[in-house]
Structure 1
Amino acid sequence: MFGSSVEAETLDPHDTVDNFAWRAIYYCYDRLVKFRGGTTEIEPALALSWEISPDGTSYTFHLRQGVTFIDGAPFNAEAVAYSFRRLIELGRAASGTVEGILDVSGIEVIDEFTIRFVLNFPFIPFLGTLATNQASIVSPGVEQHGPADHGASWLAEHSAGTGPFYVKEWRRGDVIILARNENYWGPKPALREVQIRYIPEAAVLRELLEKGEVDMAEVLTDEQLDALAGVSGVTVFEAPSFSVCRLYLNCTKPYLSDVRVRQAISYAIDYEGIIYAVTKGHAVQMRGPIPQGMWGHDPSVPQYTRDLTKARALLAAAGYAKGFRLTMLIDPGIPAWVDIATIVQANLAEIGISVDIVGYARPTMRAMIDRSEHEISIGYWTPDYPDPDMFAWYWFYSKNRGLGGNRSFYTNPRMDELAVGQRAEPDPNKRLEMLKELQRIAVEDAVYVYLYQATYRTAMREWVKGYVYNPMLLYMPNFDTISKDYGAG
């Protein structure tokens, strides 16, 4: 039993970019490649081997034979081609993984078990992108459930993969039940069933974990996790991560379209206060958009610190010395966001900006963000593949406005050039210079409020065995290899 204070929005892997939804999706599917254990190294999955052309634009995969989808359809090169065409043609947020990199015309079926992808340019992280949830291989059989949308309406609540589990049932607002795929081609999971139960009140979720009525629990506050660390039979796991928390400042809205207002907000925030009040010190302030520890991070990028004098001067220069009113959109089911919003509200009041906190359930909140119906909002972001592209192209490319990543609806032609250009630059030194310029502009333009980079923490009963942490798969426990030993805990 996995208890979650956040509910999934959809179960279609070619639709969502939400890790909380991926938790239920990821192990219902396989991909051509996968991350090896807790590392970012790539190893075979549905593809047994591959060759990459010398110029880095052609990837040829030799596929595993004898695999079937949960609906009985055979896995082969045509199925892989269908899956990537579906991802591209749906054009939803998940398609950003290959947007501009791979077109439908670049998908070539060589024979029954060989497929080739011809890229538009040599994209260095391409192999890593194929291990992400978005690259899940979906059965062509979903077409029978609605060819007009490639079966998307049906797949939103079902699964159609070759993975170790499949979606047995989803009772919205209650539980998603994953059942073991008894015909799985790989090692059979020890767990016969995984129940992902939606428990919106984090305090209730903590209590259920303490009582042993749930085996694992997310998302709990750091204060709750600190308390659980002292409970007999409970383990609190923690490790460094690339997970970050940022405020979205919608650049299309009145007031926020002025960079001076966004800079004023950035100077008004009490970063240290948020880190210690919300994470209990289990985080560090972000320095620009690319997290510390990731290649491409520029430690010399300026960092905003709380300076109310500068903040007030910037508001006055923008013509808003008397202040104004904004709304901040959150999901109140995530306690940390409630705490952050309360602190932000108090911080901005000190420079004359009144903030009304508006709360909606996560699926509604995300839909509103996608439609640009927010002024200020908040979100976590964790990379799907280990490359700064996840923070550069996704966050700042103007065509990604909305859930695709650019949630501040920011537009800057130079940033478009940098965000797209760094993807295609094969020279690491030249690419690094492009990323440095991008980070400087991102901070100068105050596109987001860069709050903090967090330590990943999760709680489980001691009888949960075999948990493996992977920094690319946050909030997605390895249900396929976890077991339970009630002789422990």
Structure 2
Amino acid sequence: MKKSLFGIFTSFLLLISCGEKNSTTFKEDKKVLNVAQSADAKSLDPHATNDSPSAGVMIQIYDSLVNVDENLNIIPNLAESWKEISPTKYQFNLKKGVLFHNGEELKASDVVFTFNRMLSSPRVSHIVGPMKTIKEISDYIVEIELSNPFAPMLYHLAHPASLILNEKAVIQNSDLYGQNPIGTGPFQLSNWIPGDKIILSKNNNYFKNPAKVDEINIKVVNEATNRVIGLETGELDMSINIAPIDINQVKSNKDLILLEDTGFGMNYLGFNTLKAPFNNKNIRKAIAYAINSEDIIEAVVLNSGTKANSPVPKGVFGYDQSIEPIEWNPNLSKEIIKNENLENKIKTKIWTNDDATRLQIAQIVQSQLKDVGIESSIESLEWGAFLEGTAREEHEIIILGWGNVTGDADYSLYPVFNTATDPSAGRRTIYSNTMVDQLLNNARETTNREIRLNAYSKVQEIIKEDVPLIPLYYPKYNVGINKKVKNFKISPMGHHSFYEIEL
């Protein structure tokens, strides 16, 4: 009997041992992608924010009706097809059997709910502003009617703010929805530790087939150097926004690859045009003459970027290469300041977020302003605090960037300069000009390419004259990856999909 009991006990131990071994093997087989980005998401509600760190996470969780491919062509996504009934009316046929993360099937009612909610948001309503009515024709057919023709309409439906929501989930979570997102995307939110990391898990019911990666850890790593160290030690598989000073370090590592793309970004110095003395166009122009952007490009971004002549990046429809940038001329800057009776009287604050590159830019700007008699201090704020403070119009001078996510000049100009746009949505200079408003509205309401190009050219000339901001340079998008990361492509829009990645 004792022998029999011993045999049973031994067998039990063997089963436990085998079970433990299988568990370990399972864990080892789990494909986990560790990604670093420089700032945390502000919200995962597409209608609550319009910033890059948030959008970079949201596009993994949600889908839009249509997508933009690498050649800037519109391609199907949740909508399997669509047709233009008239210049102001579109009909979209939804794919059937698409499931949200909560098990609900995507229906036309979710699309209607999404865009009606989007239109009520001051942060993103401008993106689909011409929408007048959204109708549910059937469970899988949606009709969108515009108040006027809108040439970049389909591109704006691919914007991160146009990602499709589940009506039931939004209503159930109410004010907490931004921390409890439900989409149809390849990944779903598993955990979010604010300021530390966001964990996404694979959606096994994804309508395009499940992703090859089981889990994504998106880690918040503010220090650019630490993002590179993480790559070198193997703690990270990918680092978004490699600082220019670290580029050669990544390139020289045999286990790493640096991916670069010119993209559609523009970094700038902006003014709060409501605050004295920056409500004076002449002072803004004087500062423009004081700033040598070539010093910034050489010393800070180490030539990983090109001098900007316009708020519209090269490669975007509507970019006007004939616009001449305001050239560095400190003597003229001093003369203008003296003529305004403000010689050695201007003191200001330069705001930037906690980004090493932007902080270095602010330091060079501070030095260049001092050369023309302007005293300034630098304040570096956490990303969320920076966005909230500028939305409340508390700033004076800011160092910031704007990414074009549609490939059309409307998105470089309308959200940034049109009076109808809320400061939280991009108009952080609080700039207003009725002629700019009219030109931008006219360009939106026609599909005639020549008329649109002419309007955008005139707007770029006016912006150069009024100087609500100073375009500094067009940056390159730099992403460092481990060689084991396969099938990853940089998006010129600046929001990179992880869906096709294999490890």
* TM surpasses 0.5: yes
Counterparts of 1:266 and 1:135, CA distance in 2: 36
2:175 corresponds to 1:156: no
TM-score, L = length of structure 1: 0.94
Counterpart in the other structure of 2:499 = 480
Offset, 1:84: 0.9
Offset, 1:45: 1.1
Counterparts of 2:99 and 2:316, CA distance in 1: 38
Counterparts of 1:298 and 1:191, CA distance in 2: 42
Contact in 2 for aligned 1:323/1:351 (Cα 8 Å):
no
2:462 corresponds to 1:423: no
Q: Secondary structure at the match of 2:151?
A: coil
TM-score, L = length of structure 2: 0.91
Counterpart in the other structure of 1:487 = none
**Pairing of 1:154-233 with structure 2 (within 5 A):** 154-233=176-255
Contact in 2 for aligned 1:246/1:380 (Cα 8 Å):
yes
Counterpart pick for 1:359 among 380, 404, 407: 380
Counterparts of 1:186 and 1:293, CA distance in 2: 30
Residue identity matched to 2:76: P
Counterpart in the other structure of 1:345 = 366
Q: Point out the more displaced range, 260-269 or 217-226.
A: 217-226
Contact in 1 for aligned 2:264/2:403 (Cα 8 Å):
yes
Residue identity matched to 2:134: I
Counterparts of 1:162 and 1:92, CA distance in 2: 25
Contact in 1 for aligned 2:274/2:430 (Cα 8 Å):
yes
Counterparts of 1:392 and 1:477, CA distance in 2: 23
Counterpart in the other structure of 2:159 = 132
Counterpart in the other structure of 1:114 = 141
Counterparts of 1:303 and 1:401, CA distance in 2: 27
Matched residues, number: 470
Counterparts of 2:378 and 2:345, CA distance in 1: 17
Counterpart pick for 1:71 among 89, 102, 108: 102
Residue identity matched to 1:70: H
Counterparts of 2:53 and 2:280, CA distance in 1: 33
Counterparts of 1:479 and 1:39, CA distance in 2: 19
Contact in 1 for aligned 2:241/2:477 (Cα 8 Å):
no
Counterpart pick for 2:124 among 82, 85, 94: 94
Counterpart in the other structure of 2:74 = 42
Over aligned residues, Cα RMSD in angstroms? 1.3
Q: Secondary structure at the match of 1:21?
A: helix
Residue identity matched to 2:81: S
Counterpart in the other structure of 1:16 = 49
Residue identity matched to 2:131: L
Q: Secondary structure at the match of 1:173?
A: coil
**Structure 1 residues 189, 143: CA separation in 2 closer, same or farther (over 3 Å shift)?**
closer
Question: What percent identity do the matched residue pairs reach?
Answer: 27
2:277 corresponds to 1:255: yes
Counterpart in the other structure of 1:384 = 405
- Listed as ranges, the gaps of 5+ residues in structure 1 are 485-489
Contact in 1 for aligned 2:266/2:312 (Cα 8 Å):
no
Partner deviation per Cα, 1:61-83 (whole Å, 9 max, x = no partner): 11111122111222111111111
Offset, 1:95: 2.1
Counterparts of 1:321 and 1:283, CA distance in 2: 34
Offset, 1:294: 2.1
Residue identity matched to 1:56: P
Residue identity matched to 2:237: D
**Structure 1 residues 288, 117: CA separation in 2 closer, same or farther (over 3 Å shift)?**
same
Counterparts of 1:154 and 1:295, CA distance in 2: 38
Counterparts of 2:466 and 2:364, CA distance in 1: 23
Counterparts of 2:310 and 2:82, CA distance in 1: 36
Counterparts of 1:438 and 1:403, CA distance in 2: 22
Counterparts of 1:419 and 1:320, CA distance in 2: 34
2:440 corresponds to 1:413: no
**Structure 1 residues 451, 423: CA separation in 2 closer, same or farther (over 3 Å shift)?**
same
Q: For the pair shown, which has the larger CA radius of gyration, 1 or 2?
A: 2
Q: Secondary structure at the match of 2:125?
A: helix
Partner deviation per Cα, 1:56-111 (whole Å, 9 max, x = no partner): 2111011111122111222111111111111112x131222112x103xx111111
Counterpart in the other structure of 1:83 = 114
Residue identity matched to 1:425: T
Counterpart in the other structure of 2:8 = none
Contact in 2 for aligned 1:250/1:374 (Cα 8 Å):
yes
Offset, 1:143: 4.0
Residue identity matched to 1:206: V
Counterparts of 2:380 and 2:124, CA distance in 1: 25
